[in-house]
Amino acid sequence: MVRRYLLLSPGPTPVPQEVLLEGAKETIHHRTPEFVNILKETLEMTKYIFQTQYPVYVLSSSGTGALETAMVNLVNPGEKAIIVNAGKFGERWVDIAKAYGIIPVEIKLPWGAAVTPEMIEKAMKENPDVKVVFTTYSETSTGTVIDLENIAKLTKGTDVILVTDAVSGLLAEPLKMDEWGIDVVVSGSQKGWMLPPGLAFIAVNDKAYAKIEKCTNSRYYFDLRKYKKSAPDNPWTTAVNLIYMLNKAVKMLKEEGIENVWARHKLYGEATRAAISALGLELFSERPGNVLTAVKSPSVPYVPSSNLTKVMRDKYGVTIAAGQEPMKDEIFRISHLGYLTPFDIITGITALEFALSELGYKVEIGKGVKAAEEILFKGLVG
């Protein structure tokens, strides 16, 4: 059987052919005026994605590199930091803090739960000496998105720095860094940016940078003082061809318009959730977002998500994600992130119906597809 592969995983995500072709261009030296001008133009354009006037720095790393950069540039060893831990990537903030001798003050929640502004306000009042709050906008392990806009109101106009992991959330969810008052936003290329893995981004406002200059934590490769001093160049070897690709991808996103990008992800999320409901399945997250839809694995009969994802990938050519760690076989995650069309969503739901039926879960073939199509048609045609 002829097979095409479709990525409905929460990273990496599909990359447009136009962007891939940019990566095939000749590699030039990263210190030449020609390349530095390309990098300067590209970084200036990326401010639009973050909705900020402040500098955006690009790192040759995965998104985790940007998380580590934020932590080591803002908090000293022995100091405390408030960290929301409600999934694998909140847990990652905690692990990075501990690796650098930072004391995490955890707001620890069950996987699938969403932190509220009230919870963060309580933690801030109980720990007035803590000056940095680390959040995860979209917890990729659970599909949960937080109320970041209202959380930002707690720190805006204060000396407390708000940092958010928007590795997956940026572009899929509305995020207005300057208007909302978020001090540091980090992201990664293999998500909504429509790029391969390999780049991470960190946007920093003046309030946060003032704290960075006073921080005494150990740092070398991820020292943002070096990035600012070298700007618009990079202090280290830049991933030249990925910058070509980033330049093209951001131009495509700007042409579409950020409001339209947010609306596209919202439409695909609603269509996917409608399909899940129509198939009699249950959402996992208490506050699902538009990065991905996390779904509880069927219990009667029990269908481990590792079995489901294997059949979908190996037989039907559609890659989704199983759960992580404690939720390994208990949930599966369907992404609607990045370079996707309405017909990709329909294909993914079709493959899900086929695989579930094959694994013994009673499915009325086409029921989920119909529910998704109705949402998509209404959103596209009106």
Taking only the tens of pLDDT, the chain with its 382 residues reads 777 899 999 999 999 999 999 999 999 999 999 999 999 999 999 999 999 999 999 999 999 999 999 999 999 999 999 999 999 999 999 999 999 999 999 999 999 999 999 999 999 999 999 999 999 999 999 999 999 999 999 999 999 999 999 999 999 999 999 999 999 999 999 999 999 999 999 999 999 999 999 999 999 999 999 999 999 999 999 999 999 999 999 999 999 999 999 999 999 999 999 999 999 999 999 999 999 999 999 999 999 999 999 999 999 999 999 999 999 999 999 999 999 999 999 999 999 999 999 999 999 999 999 999 999 999 999 7
Smallest Cα–Cα separation from 168: which of 192, 134, 198? 192
In the chain, the number of structural domains is 2
Residues 204 and 333 in one domain: no
Supply the Cα-derived Rg of the chain in whole angstroms.
21
- What helix, strand, coil percent values describe the chain, rounded to 5? 45, 15, 40
- Within a domain: 165: yes
Structure tokens at 304: 């481990």
Residue ending a domain, among 234, 256, 278, is 256
Residues 229 and 306 in one domain: no
Residues 133 and 178 in one domain: yes
Residues 71 and 192 in one domain: yes
Q: How far, rounded to the nearest angstrom, does the alpha carbon of residue 112 sit from its chain's CA centroid?
A: 16
- Distance CA(247)–CA(261), nearest Å, equals 17
- Within a domain: 89: yes
Smallest Cα–Cα separation from 264: which of 151, 345, 144, 364? 345
Residues 73 and 139 in one domain: yes
> CB of 183 within 8 A of CB of 161?
yes
Residues 183 and 274 in one domain: no
Structure tokens at 72: 């080591």
> CB of 282 within 8 A of CB of 295?
yes
Q: What is the pLDDT of residues 93-104, one digit of tens each?
A: 999 999 999 999
> CB of 341 within 8 A of CB of 18?
no
**Amino acid in position 202:** I
- Within a domain: 1: no
Residues 201 and 53 in one domain: yes
Buried b / exposed e over 199-208, threshold 16 CB at 10 Å, is: bbbbbbbebb
Smallest Cα–Cα separation from 136: which of 114, 104, 158, 105? 114
Burial of 325 (0-12, 13-18, 19+ CB in 10 A): exposed
| Residue matched to tokens 């076989």 | 329
SS3 132: strand
Residues 132 and 240 in one domain: yes
Residues 241 and 179 in one domain: yes
Structure tokens at 221: 């490769």
Smallest Cα–Cα separation from 239: which of 200, 182, 282, 283? 200
Q: Parallel, antiparallel, or unpaired: how do β-strands 292-296 and 331-335 relate? A: antiparallel
What is the chain's length?
Answer: 382
Residues 86 and 102 in one domain: yes
CA-to-CA separations, 108 to 132, 228, 229, in angstroms, rounded: 16, 34, 37
Domain of residue 40 covers 17-256
- Distance CA(366)–CA(369), nearest Å, equals 5
Cβ-based neighbour number of residue 257 at 10 Å = 11
Residues 202 and 288 in one domain: no
Query: Does pTM surpass 0.95?
Result: yes
Structure tokens at 257: 């318009």
Residues 286 and 161 in one domain: no
| CATH code of 319's domain | 3.90.1150.10
> CB of 162 within 8 A of CB of 184?
yes
| Residue matched to tokens 């890659």 | 319
- Distance CA(213)–CA(231), nearest Å, equals 16
- Within a domain: 213: yes
| CATH code of 32's domain | 3.40.640.10
Residue ending a domain, among 208, 239, 256, is 256
Residue ending a domain, among 256, 274, 308, is 256
Structure tokens at 31: 């210190």
> CB of 58 within 8 A of CB of 200?
yes
Cβ-based neighbour number of residue 27 at 10 Å = 10
